[in-house]
Each structure stands twice: as C-alpha cells, then as structure tokens.
Amino acid sequence: MDATLSVVASTIQAAGVLALATLVALVARSLGAAWLRSWATGWLWLAGSLVALQVSFRQPGAERLLQAAYHFGELAFLWLLARGSREFRGLSRPGHARAWAAAVAALSLALPWTLPEFTHRFVVQAALLSAGFLWNAAVLWPARSLPGTRLGVGVALVALVLLAAMFAAHAAAFGAASIARSGLPLAYAAYSSLYDLLLEMLLAFGIVVVGLQDAAGQIRTLAGLVPICAWCRKLRDDQGYWSEFETWARRRTGARVTHGICPACKEKHFPELA
C-alpha cells in the first residue's frame, strides 16, 4: 500500500511538472525573452527527468540508464534556472557549460552503479538539489530590488528557499531511514512527491509572473519615453539597466539587430565609396 501510494504520487508529480513546463515554454515562446527561454528549457529538462524516473520503475532492464537520465535532468534544471536568472539580471551566461555538463553526466552515470539502491542515491540527489536551490536563490536574490518584477521575483525566491528546505528534509529523512533500516512514515513517504509538486507550482507561478510583469514593463517602455544617455547614447530600461541599443532591442523585443550604413554616413566617412 505504501509503495503503491508513493508511485501514484510520483506519477502525479511527473504529470504536473510536465504541465508546468508546457506553460512556461508557451509563455517563453510568446514573450521571446532569452532568460525566459532558459528557464523554460530547464523546466522541460525537469519534466523529462521525472518521466524517465517513472519509466524506469516499469522497465527493470533499463532501470540504471533511465535513472541516470533522471539524475542528469534534475541537475540540468538547476543549472538552466541559474543561467536564466543571470540573463534576467543582464549578466553574461555562466561559462564552462561543456565542462559542467560533462561533470554532471559522469556523476549521473556513476550514481546508479556505485549506489544500486535508489533510496541511497536519492539521499545524494536530494542533498545536491537542496544546495542547488539555495544557489539559485543566491543568484536571483539581487533581482529582488528591480522595479516592475518584484512580486514575481519574491514569489520565486520564497519557492526556491522552501524547495531547498524540503529537499534537505528529504535527504535527512531518507538517510536516517537507510541507517536505521526502517521505513518512513506513510504520510511522508507516500506523499513527499506531492509536497514537492506544490512548491514547484509556486516556483513556476513566480517565473510566469516575472515574465508577464517584464512584458508589461516592455509595453510601458515602448509606449512611453525611452531614457537615452546624451553622451554615450545607451538606453535605460524599466529595471534601471543601461545598455547599448542592440542589447536593449534584443532583450526588449527579441529582435536581432544587424548593422549597415546610411547614405549620409557613407558619404561622410567613406567618400571614396559614395
């Protein structure tokens, strides 16, 4: 009965996260922001990892490979969330992406063979997820003071901190149960996946609100006055960032700016070509 409830709850979590990933992906496609696309890709990785976990329970022959995909997908989710947060703050993408992917892939493949029991692996995975959610909260934290998206950022930060606490509790509970060789309480073991889903819904809600608030800020910016520095000609967006026109246009409209030369400048700077 305990195992059956746990499988049902984890199946509901996988279906729920898949729905959340679809929602975030649709919002990202509609708004076209690069940082929102990174967040949406992360959610798709999370959904895929949970689907792989569910399939592994039903395909014993491919269990280890599928659960390695589960471990990799959840860690990829954390990295993509952090990348989206950096892009949202106007920072460059974190470097060493290939090295990070190789390290996570090696860890994900090693876990199923070094720790054959899923319960033991989940202790390690939960500890990594707890640290990863705290890391994401630290990356997103400076964005809380940006005007226009404070509500969404605040909701996302609360969800990240609660998720970090939840997975730390998972690591402690499953670790203690493994050491004592005892089972977990029914209310915890059977429904822990549903608790995770509730907090993941809160995080997805915060991300969607950030996207919608940012879109509203874009509309206000494009419809109103655009502050331009009189000396360097940089533009200021509604979040207070000063950037080149190309960066501003790409972030605000999703358009890629190309460069040419107008007839007047061609005649002035390149008279031999005019």
Residue bearing tokens 């063979």: 113
Which pLDDT score is estimated for 1?
Answer: 41
Note the Cα 19 to chain centre separation in Å.
Answer: 15
Note the Cα 223 to chain centre separation in Å.
Answer: 30
Please say whether the dihedral angle defined by the alpha carbons of residues 217, 218, 223 and 227, taken in this order, is positive or negative: positive
| pTM, rounded to two decimals | 0.77
| Each residue's pLDDT expressed in tens, for the chain with a length of 274 residues | 445 656 677 788 888 999 999 999 998 888 888 889 999 999 999 999 999 988 888 887 888 899 999 999 999 999 999 999 998 887 876 667 788 888 888 988 888 888 878 878 888 999 999 999 999 999 999 988 877 788 999 999 999 999 999 999 989 988 887 777 766 655 566 678 888 899 999 999 999 999 888 888 766 656 566 778 878 878 777 667 787 777 766 665 556 677 778 888 888 777 777 6
Burial annotation 160-190 (CB, 10 A radius, 16+ → b, else e): bbbbbebbbebbebbbebeeeeeebeeebbb
Which pLDDT score is estimated for 61?
Answer: 81
Structure-token pair, residue 49: 């990892």
